[in-house]
Amino acid sequence: MDPIKFTPGAHTKYFKRFLQMMPPQAQKGDSQRLMVAFFSISGLDMINSLESCNAQYRLDMIEWIYSLQIHPSDDDESWKRCGFMGSSNLKLQSADSKEYQYGHIAMTYTALSSLVILGDDLSRVNRHAVIQGVRALQQPDGSFCAHLNGSENDMRFIFCAAVICYILKDWSGMDTTLVEDFIKSSISYEGAIAQGPGLEAHGGSTYCAIAALVLMDRLCIFSEEEIEKLRRWLLMRQMAGFQGRPNKPDDTCYSFWVGATLKLLDRYQYIDGKSNRNYILSTQHILTGGFSKWCDTSPDPLHTYFGICGLSLMNEPGLKEMNCALNMSVDAVNRLTEIQKCYS
């Protein structure tokens, strides 16, 4: 008899709490509330519990997400600011303050994904403006910044840009050749991929790069030798669960970041599934719900979501199947395919 049980009911309650009110310890992240909402919405979808939020509540969530969309104004340069903000608290009241409001590429990615998962048809998304806003964030080296006010520019935002372009079925939002060059230049001596050139290879940035290339249908930029070296590096990241880089402890979220990359590269069958499952469930909080980064630490929405995704990759009973490249359920991606048929 399996001594460790997965408790989806507790996690349903955990996600729904975060959709209602951010707890005090999480309020410092209020500017990224939309990302927290995505973890909760997609998490509920993965555990087949989204229907536990009634139809009106789901419609209210859709309306809230659309309220965060930045539309172009009469200013000729206003399209550069388009996208989605991360929180209602970032909205300025003055009509003259629009130039200080702009989309954030990660919030735009999570907004679009959340709308698809919630069953919206994306008809109110200003597709052209969003794509132009994404294009404005690409840097000369091919990477992307998060927003116009300046930020890091690295592999995370390449992934966000790729998902946005894929969902909206418009790749004019990026110079794909520059993206390919940036990814190639970010391969470390170990054969895995860093956040940028000359940096340490990392499981998260490796996922972002490989998933982006899969969405672009450009995984062919790697030779078979390079792919094999990368597969080996990824498989070597398993301890009990997975670590993000050598000489680091296991961490719940890398069961997805590394595991999903192995799925995309057709080598997931070589992991030790039992060991990985036991590690993930050792970070589960049965009473309050949620998963934590490590055992005996506090849970958070990110590790809860990616812990569930890691279990889904191993076909945990009761969980939906994931589309690894888009980081959402196969059901949601099937819905997206139907939406895209209506694009002109």
pTM for this model (two decimals)? 0.95
Which is nearest to 197 in space by CA: 179, 182, 207? 182
Residue 12: the pLDDT is 97
Q: Is the confidence at residue 11, as pLDDT, over 50? A: yes
Query: Rounded distance, CA 201 to CA 226, Å?
Result: 14
**CA pair distance 242, 37, nearest whole angstrom:** 25
Tell whether the model's pLDDT for residue 276 goes beyond 70.
Answer: yes
Instruction: With CA atoms as reference, report the closest residue to 326 among 74, 132, 110.
Output: 110
Between CA 249 and CA 241 the distance in angstroms is: 9
Q: Which two tokens stand for residue 112?
A: 């679009």
CA dist., res. 149 & res. 143, Å (int): 16
pLDDT band at 42 (very low <50, low <70, confident <90, very high): very high
The pair phi, psi for residue 286, each rounded to 5°, is -70, -40
CA distances from 114 to 42, 50, 58, 59, 314 (A): 7, 12, 11, 12, 24
Residues counted in the chain: 344
Rounded mean pLDDT, 16-25:
82
Beta bridge partners of 144: 138, 154
Residues near 299 by beta carbon (within 8 Å), at least 6 away in sequence: 14, 283, 285, 288, 289, 290, 291, 292
CA 319, CA 199: separation in Å to the nearest integer?
36
Contact predicate 135/172, CB 8 Å: yes
Percent of the chain topping pLDDT 90: 83
- Letter string b/e over residues 16-42, b meaning 16 or more CB atoms within 10 A of that residue's CB: bbbbeebeeeeeebeebbbbbbbbbbb
pLDDT at 226 over 50: yes
Query: Mean per-residue pLDDT for 177-191?
Result: 97
Asked if residues 191 and 233 have their Cβ atoms less than 8 Å apart, the reply is: yes
pLDDT of 97 > 70? The answer is no
Residue 93 in this model has a pLDDT that exceeds 90: no
Structure tokens at 279: 């590690």
β partners of residue 284? 291
Section 42-63 average pLDDT: 96
φ, ψ for residue 198 (rounded to 5)? Answer: 80, 0
Decide if 290 contacts 300 (C-beta within 8 A).
Answer: yes
Residue located via tokens 């003259």: 96
Alpha carbon distance 116, 96 (integer Å): 32
74 Cβ contact list (under 8 Å, min separation 6): none
pLDDT in tens, 192-213: 999 999 999 999 999 999 999 9
Q: Mean pLDDT across the chain, nearest whole number?
A: 93
Q: In one letter, which amino acid is 271?
A: I
pLDDT at 3 over 90: no
Give the residue among 321, 285, 300 at the shortest CA–CA distance from 5.
285
- Predicted local confidence at residue 100, as pLDDT: 66
pLDDT band with cut points at 50, 70 and 90 for residue 1: very low
Averaged pLDDT for residues 13-23: 88
Q: Is the pLDDT of residue 108 over 50?
A: yes
